[in-house]
């Protein structure tokens, strides 16, 4: 069995330093933090003391670490999580990560120190995966929500590739051959999967992928507005645009309005994520609707299973999305 001393030896630090890193009880240099995390990954070290403690004593509380305050989709997900928690008689502690890796790690540590029984996390695009390393190193029951980021965790998300492919194929069916995509923050599994779906739709239709038509909207409305403006300024602009989340759809709408481009007469527009007012715009927005309430409920159910069975087989689930065709694609 791998011991903390083994981690310390490989990382060339003291055992107490390893303890401080794993428990977040003292700030260490980035170099030391990296060395310890690397040693934990290489050795597969998981401390058993916390796992035994959790098995003996529960707080009937779970932590939720999701960037929800600025994202309507995640706000609805958190609401669904809270509803399912109430059904099971457990308390939810929510902290916004702001999709910032440093904040994400602080949030995870804070929830851990408050003795939550488990954590639901929509992981950021942190290349160091610091929060995920911390969760594994401390054997904290965890379910990753929406963004399926790592083996070794229970995960529940939405099917992104086929959904995006179906939406882009619908635009192609309207005769569009130059379709722009405003993609989300790179490094997120949802972003990469939706890009793959976009490219697969083009390939199946025999259309060449044009790198200039794939722009980065950074998953927010203002960046998406600038990205859409970039597409409109091309020498050969697209005739249709797909935005990869609700905030970016709004940003694209701003850009089209500022350019006095009518939807769908002059430019078709579709998006990933349905939202309350999507059916109220003129034209009404054609979108991919995610099963938000089912996603939140299933995440809680998986986490409760993991808390009850810490050593059980990890599960990774995909929920089907729904194509909602309205008018912005060109349909009557």
Give residue-wise pLDDT tens across range 92-111. 999 999 989 999 999 999 99
Judge whether 146 lies within some domain. Answer: no
Q: What is the pLDDT of residue 37?
A: 86
Q: Is 179 helix (H, G, I), strand (E, B) or coil?
A: strand
Specify if 134 maps to a domain. Answer: no
Q: What is the pTM of this model?
A: 0.80
- Give the domain CATH number at 183: 3.40.50.2300
pLDDT for the residue numbered 13 = 93
Retrieve residue 1's tokens.
């069995």
Closest CA to 226 of 258, 272, 266: 258
pLDDT tens-digit series, residues 302-314:
999 999 999 889 9
Asked whether 69 and 95 are in contact (CB, 8 A), the reply is no
CATH number for the domain including 24? 1.10.260.40
Comparing C-alpha atoms, which of 216, 232, 210 is closest to residue 182?
216
In three-state secondary structure terms, 217 is coil
Q: Which residues in the chain land under pLDDT 50?
A: 52-54
Whether 151 maps to a domain, the answer reads no
Cα separations in angstroms, 105 against 22, 51, 108, 124, 137: 11, 20, 5, 10, 13
Residue 332 lies in a domain: no
Q: Does residue 252 lie within any of the structural domains?
A: yes
pLDDT at position 125 is: 87
Asked whether residue 30 is assigned to any structural domain, the reply reads yes
Domain extent, residue 222, equals 161-290
Q: Closest Cα partner for 181 from 238, 255, 243, 223?
A: 243
Closest CA to 142 of 176, 184, 111: 111
Report in angstroms the alpha-carbon separations of 198 from 83, 175, 191, 211.
Answer: 34, 16, 11, 12
Q: What's the domain count of the chain? A: 2
**Would 243 be classed as within a structural domain?**
yes
Instruction: Provide the 8-state DSSP code for 327.
Output: S
**Residue 118 near residue 307, CB atoms below 8 Å:** yes
- Does residue 222 form part of some domain? yes
């Amino acid at each position: 069995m791998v011991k903390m001393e083994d981690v310390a030896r490989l990382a060339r630090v003291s055992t107490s330093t390893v303890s401080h890193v794993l428990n977040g009880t003292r700030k260490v240099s980035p170099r030391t933090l990296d060395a310890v995390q690397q040693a934990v990954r290489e050795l597969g070290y998981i401390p058993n003391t916390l796992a035994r403690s959790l098995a003996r004593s529960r707080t009937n509380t779970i932590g939720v670490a999701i960037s929800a305050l600025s994202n309507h989709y995640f706000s609805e997900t958190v609401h669904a999580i809270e509803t399912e928690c109430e059904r099971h008689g457990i308390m939810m502690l929510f902290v916004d990560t702001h999709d910032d890796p440093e904040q994400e790690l602080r949030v995870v540590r804070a929830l851990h120190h408050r003795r939550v029984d488990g954590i639901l996390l929509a992981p950021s695009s942190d290349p160091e995966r610091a929060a995920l390393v911390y969760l594994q190193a401390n054997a904290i029951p965890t379910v990753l929500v929406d963004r399926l980021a790592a083996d070794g965790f229970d995960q529940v998300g939405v099917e992104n590739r086929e959904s995006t492919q179906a939406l882009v194929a619908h635009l192609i069916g309207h005769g569009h051959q130059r379709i722009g995509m405003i993609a989300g923050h790179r490094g997120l599994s949802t972003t990469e999967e939706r890009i793959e779906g976009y490219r697969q739709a083009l390939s199946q239709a025999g259309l060449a992928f044009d790198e200039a038509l794939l722009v980065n909207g950074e998953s927010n409305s203002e960046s998406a507005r600038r990205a859409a403006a970039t597409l409109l300024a091309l020498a050969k602009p697209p005739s249709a645009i797909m935005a990869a989340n609700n905030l970016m759809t709004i940003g694209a709408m701003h850009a089209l309005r500022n350019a006095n481009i009518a939807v769908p007469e002059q430019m078709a527009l579709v998006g990933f994520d349905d939202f309350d007012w999507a059916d109220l715009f003129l034209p009404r927005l054609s979108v991919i609707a995610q099963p938000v309430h089912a996603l939140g409920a299933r995440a809680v159910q998986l986490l409760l299973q993991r808390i009850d069975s810490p050593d059980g087989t990890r599960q990774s689930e995909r929920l089907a999305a729904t194509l909602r065709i309205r008018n912005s694609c060109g349909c009557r």
